[in-house]
Amino acid sequence: MSRTILKIACASLIASAAIAAHHAAGATDAAPASPQKKPYTVKDGKVDINTYHGYLYYGDQCMRCHGPDGAGSSYAPNLTESLKVMTKEQVENTIINGRKHVDSSNEKVMPAFGTNEDVVENMDNIYNYLLARSDGALGRGHPEHLDP
Amino acid sequence: MNSKKSVLAMSACMLAGSAVLGSAPSLANEELSKLSKDPSQWVMPLGNYSSQRYSELTQINTKTAKSLHPVWTFSTGVLRGHEGGPLVIGDMMYVSTPFPNTVFALSLKDAGKIAWKYEPKQDANVIPVMCCDTVNRGVSYTPDNGGMIFLHQADTSLVALDAKTGKVVWNIKDGDPGKGETGTSAPLVVKDKVLIGISGGEFGMRGRLTAYNIKDGSKAWIAYSEGTDSELKFDPQKTTVMGQPVGADSSLKTWKGDQYKNGGGATWGWISYDPSLNMIYYGSGNPGTWNPTQRPGDNKWSMTVFARDADTGEAKWVYQMTPHDQWDYDGINEMILADVPVHGKSTKALVHFDRNGFAYVLDRVNGKLLEAEKYDPAVNWASKIDMASGRPVLVDQFGPGAQGADHNTKNVCPAALGSKDEQPASYSPKNHMFFVPTNHVCMDYEPFKVSYTAGQPYVGATLSMYPPQGQNNLGNFIAYDVNQGKIAWSDPETFSVWSGALATAGDVVAYGTLDGNLKVVDQKTGKLLYKFKTPSGIIGNINTYTYGGKQYLAVLSGVGGWAGIGMAAGLSEDNAGLGAVGAYKQLSNYTQLGGVLTVFGLSN
């Protein structure tokens, strides 16, 4: 059983890595990599189109547990706080493989999204949206987007 | 193929068997009916077959309510959202919890001493495929076999337990959590069968109601929400909608290709039963996905009230409230069966406070629509329900489908939570008034294209929620008069009221609030008579019973569910410019997790 899960997880990591690489190539023009440069743009409360897509897919796939605007629910963590202590790699790994915390006082399980095309293809966008929220650059609610 | 054939043959035999049984009275059913009329016990999730959540008890009344106080409490040891409520049979109380779905039998003789405990072993991978928290809406009881308790587990197992010992009598699996199918709803016992619905409308499953034989857990019949006429258990000529035959392929015609196979229509709410008509009533949920442009057509029979023969499952009549849903207005809320005056005329009515914000009154014999009025003035997605066609008159400005995908439709009321969700209302036959726990929340809704992967969310929309413009209360507890189709009184609440109400012959009505208060108010005026802050937010249903000649109220607190997701952190920032500056405080400032049963009694 565990081997099968491992295989699936590995397969999805490879798939996501390939997709992520593809995305990164496409995204380079919009946001060149630099240690100072944030991977999102927020101007007058409006966000770049990729971050906007991150907002949409967050609402689609993550909000049902993590609450509106990444702010946490009665049982799932506030991601605007989590992103202050997690690296991008840790976040991606958690999204792809999920996470389990089940014992006598916890029933927390995050599913593995590695086979979910919509999540994998938008993982950078979702991360950037949450980072903008975590950095305090973007407020709550439905953002408007800048012209693509 | 072979196994399919043998299943078909088996179910044919069962149908024949049940037809014979159907004509003979079931002793167990008669006993259960009798027990449900005894106000000292609470033997069904919604009190009685009519789902009225009403009690004839009068010790707790408008004069005595002020001396209520907690008499004993019990921690379930489980943290997540506690919906549903306890059953009381004889001197035993039965309580179930969210995942891991522990069942406790508590002895009333000894202030809740644990007589037995049953904790199923379930794969924790079911947790993240439960849409909105790991809730469970309670167990059911049958006097068969000396008494059995039915538990509908998160992983869709239906387990029959010996009511005296907690030992498993039988255990069957209804669905596949690997495809996002889960169990949250309370079963209903009708004659020699136990009925259960299924959850998973956000995961592209196909809704159905299934009847199992109490004797051994074998399947008696299954009726889908979408599909062919035989899957629906429809007779194109005899099954009616708005008094007319539905005709052939009534569901298939309203879906593009085979989209209906991931069509949702989950049946995660409550089931009612009218013994004199031998008909059961329940509703179906949202069609999949939440992106309406991706699934053209009326998407029948999602968002529908079903009336079926209790023995065979054959559909008698149907009524779709929200054709081609664009808002996630599931039609699963309770169907209250009441003999009540409607526009002055005594009526065998089915009254349903739908998520879409309209209170529907139907003739429960033939499914004809008698009345449909807004029970929250904020409702704006439709101007009214056209009484001739039964269809809502849509307001395009507030239709995400009309606006198209990738467009943010703003200020739609109600939000996807609905003007009311599963939290059941109460009806008093004494004054013909309905007492309804409501949400008062609006939303922005943006649909977009999504792809289907088994066991992964199949949603395709994002939304933001906030109070109606210029207002700061997110809920109301209301009294509703179906005779006039009007709200009689409305008590504003800071948060959505997400607790099942209880009206009694003592002229009081009780409900819980998300910030954790149990409240008892006067049925005539809504005036507060008593309140007590329980350990956590209340999303459970209030029940009443007597023991040793004294009346008690019992309720589970333990915040969570949709309410806990949407509101734990507050819906919006205080300065978000919504016309409700400083209006909204975070629920997490009021309450934390933790399941506790609190039992209230009167001073001597």
ipTM for the complex shown: 0.81
pLDDT for B73 beyond 90: yes
Element (H, E) at B530: strand B528-533
Q: Given B80, B408, B588, which is nearest A142 (Cβ)? A: B408
**How is chain B split into domains, by residue range?**
2-602
What does the pLDDT look like over B326-350, one tens digit per residue?
A: 999 999 999 999 999 999 999 999 9
Classified as helix, coil or strand, B20 is: helix
Average pLDDT, chain B: 92
Is B506 part of the contact surface with chain A (CB cutoff 8 Å)?
no
Residue B410's nearest CA partner among B484, B482, B352, B466 is B466
Asked if B92 and B141 touch (Cβ cutoff 8 Å), the reply is no
pLDDT for A118: 92
β pairing state of B550-557 and B596-602: antiparallel
pLDDT for B205: 95
- The amino acid sitting at B298 is D
Q: How many angstroms separate the CA atoms of B544 and B88, rounded? A: 9
Is B570 part of the contact surface with chain A (CB cutoff 8 Å)?
yes
**Encoding tokens for residue B106?**
């508590």
HSE value, Cβ hemisphere, 13 Å, CA-based, for B200: 30
CB neighbours of residue B281 within 10 Å: 29
Q: How many angstroms separate the CA atoms of B280 and B219, rounded? A: 17
**How is chain A split into domains, by residue range?**
2-31+39-145
Give me the phi and psi of A112, to 5 degrees please: -85, 125
pLDDT for B601: 98
Distance of CA B380 to the CA centre of its chain: 23
Q: By CA distance, what is A101's nearest residue in B?
A: B124
Q: How many angstroms separate the CA atoms of B251 and B301, rounded? A: 6
Q: Do B459 and A141 touch (CB under 8 A)?
A: no
More confident residue, B95 or A25: B95
Asked if B431 and B399 touch (Cβ cutoff 8 Å), the reply is no
Chain A residue numbers touching B153 (CB-CB < 8 A):
none
pLDDT for B425 beyond 90: yes
Range A2-31+39-145 classified under CATH 1.10.3470? no
Q: Given A67, A104, A105, which is nearest B569 (Cβ)? A: A67
pLDDT for B200: 94
pLDDT for A35: 55
Mean pLDDT, residues A5-13 taken together: 37
**Percent residues over pLDDT 90 in chain B:** 83
Mean pLDDT, residues B285-312 taken together: 96
What does the pLDDT look like over B352-367, one tens digit per residue?
A: 999 999 999 999 999 9
pLDDT for B325 beyond 60: yes
Task: Find residues 442-481 of chain B whose CB sits inside 8 Å of chain A.
Answer: 444, 446, 448, 450-451, 453, 456-457, 459-466
Chain B residue numbers touching A140 (CB-CB < 8 A):
464, 572-573, 576
β pairing state of A144-145 and A46-47: parallel
Interface test with B, best of A47, A60, A95 (most B CBs within 10 A): A60
Range B2-602 classified under CATH 2.140.10.10? yes
Asked if B334 and B352 touch (Cβ cutoff 8 Å), the reply is yes
Q: How many angstroms separate the CA atoms of A78 and A74, rounded? A: 10
Q: How many angstroms separate the CA atoms of A53 and A143, rounded? A: 10
Q: By CA distance, what is B405's nearest residue in A?
A: A56
Q: Given B100, B451, B576, which is nearest A117 (Cβ)? A: B451
pLDDT for A36: 65
pLDDT for B471: 87
Residue B315's nearest CA partner among B383, B229, B381 is B229
More confident residue, B286 or A72: B286
pLDDT for B15: 40
Residue B116 bridge partners (DSSP): B105
What does the pLDDT look like over A115-126, one tens digit per residue?
A: 999 999 999 999
Confidence of residue B72 (pLDDT cuts 50, 70, 90): very high
What does the pLDDT look like over B516-539, one tens digit per residue?
A: 999 999 999 999 999 999 999 999
DSSP secondary structure letter of residue A41: -
pLDDT for A64: 87
Mean pLDDT, residues B448-466 taken together: 88
